[in-house]
């Protein structure tokens, strides 16, 4: 097979570009709120370690992850599912078909495509340590019959940030669960009026609110009630429906 100089140059340039992106990913420490439409998926990268909290409803999460994970890396070390609704776990199967999921934490039942060594049911609190990152997974309520209020909430603690991922819990649950030192809040339930009450932020006042929500969704999210509460507290608001994928450097 004969390759002209231009073809060889282009192949070499492509390989170099891929290598540069892979090296850059190994030095990254960031959180990415993926734009997955009406749903939630949050990607964490700390060097070669990757974690994903929820998957969103469909394969759009794969596009988001693919922008950040090394071309040569085919493993996601930690996946956390908050609760079993499609907008939060709908892409778990397709994710497992593209990447090796080293371990998945979530509610029962265990997904049939995962073996016992890959899955832990969250019954109360699980804490994971990865260098300068601490991940706390907590079942929001042991007594509630609501799938939303019994969801798994996640706290990401770094040297400079405390990020609270609140899934679809209600504003009443939020007040008692959000860590006092929270700096970044993922607003509950995509900005539903039931996810944020005027007193929900009495004990903790984040410096940034992120709303994972789909553009022109049929639920009216985010609600004007939730937006008004955040504005009254002078908390900046970032939204995936208007800004797309949101990335925050954690170094």
Please check whether residue 114 lies inside any domain of the structure: yes
Q: Strand order of the sheet with strand 49-53?
A: 119-121, 100-106, 75-80, 49-53, 42-46, 29-33, 246-249
75: which residues sit within 8 A by CB, 6+ positions away?
Answer: 50, 99, 100, 101, 102
Please check whether residue 90 lies inside any domain of the structure: yes
Please check whether residue 19 lies inside any domain of the structure: no
CATH number at residue 182: 3.60.15.10
Please check whether residue 219 lies inside any domain of the structure: yes
Q: For the chain, list the strands marked E by DSSP.
A: 29-33, 42-46, 49-53, 75-80, 100-106, 119-121, 125-130, 133-139, 152-157, 162-165, 184-186, 208-211, 237-239, 246-249
Using pLDDT thresholds of 50, 70 and 90, give the confidence band for residue 2. low
Please check whether residue 229 lies inside any domain of the structure: yes
Digit-coded pLDDT (tens) for 47-70: 999 999 999 999 999 999 999 999
Using pLDDT thresholds of 50, 70 and 90, give the confidence band for residue 6. low
The mean predicted confidence, pLDDT, of the chain is 92
* Number of domains within the chain: 1
Please check whether residue 166 lies inside any domain of the structure: yes
Which of 14-28, 29-43, 65-79, 126-140 is predicted with the least confidence, judged by mean pLDDT?
14-28
Domain holding 132, by residue range, is 25-245
Q: Find, among 165, 232, 162, the residue nearest to 197 by Cα.
A: 232
pTM of model > 0.85: yes
Please check whether residue 4 lies inside any domain of the structure: no
Please check whether residue 232 lies inside any domain of the structure: yes
């Amino acid at each position: 097979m004969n390759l002209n100089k231009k073809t060889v140059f282009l192949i070499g340039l492509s390989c170099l570009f891929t290598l540069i992106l892979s090296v850059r990913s190994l030095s990254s420490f960031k959180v990415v709120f993926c734009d997955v439409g009406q749903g939630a998926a949050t990607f964490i990268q700390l060097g070669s370690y990757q974690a994903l909290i929820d998957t969103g409803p469909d394969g759009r999460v794969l596009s988001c992850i693919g922008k950040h994970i090394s071309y040569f890396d085919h493993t996601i070390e930690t996946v956390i599912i908050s609760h079993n609704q499609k907008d939060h776990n709908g892409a778990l199967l397709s994710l497992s078909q593209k990447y090796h999921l080293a371990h998945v934490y979530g509610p029962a039942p265990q997904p049939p495509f995962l073996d016992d060594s890959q899955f832990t049911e969250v019954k109360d609190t699980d804490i994971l340590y990865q260098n300068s990152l601490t991940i706390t997974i907590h079942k929001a309520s042991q007594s509630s019959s609501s799938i939303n209020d019994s969801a798994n909430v996640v706290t990401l603690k770094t040297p400079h940030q405390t990020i609270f991922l609140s899934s679809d819990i209600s504003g009443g649950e939020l007040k008692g669960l959000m860590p006092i030192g929270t700096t970044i809040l993922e607003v509950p339930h995509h900005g539903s009026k039931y996810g944020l009450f005027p007193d929900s932020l009495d004990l903790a006042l984040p410096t940034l609110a992120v709303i994972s929500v789909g553009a022109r969704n049929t639920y009216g999210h985010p609600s004007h009630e939730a937006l008004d509460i955040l504005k009254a507290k002078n908390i900046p608001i970032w939204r995936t429906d208007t800004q797309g994928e949101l990335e925050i450097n954690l170094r």
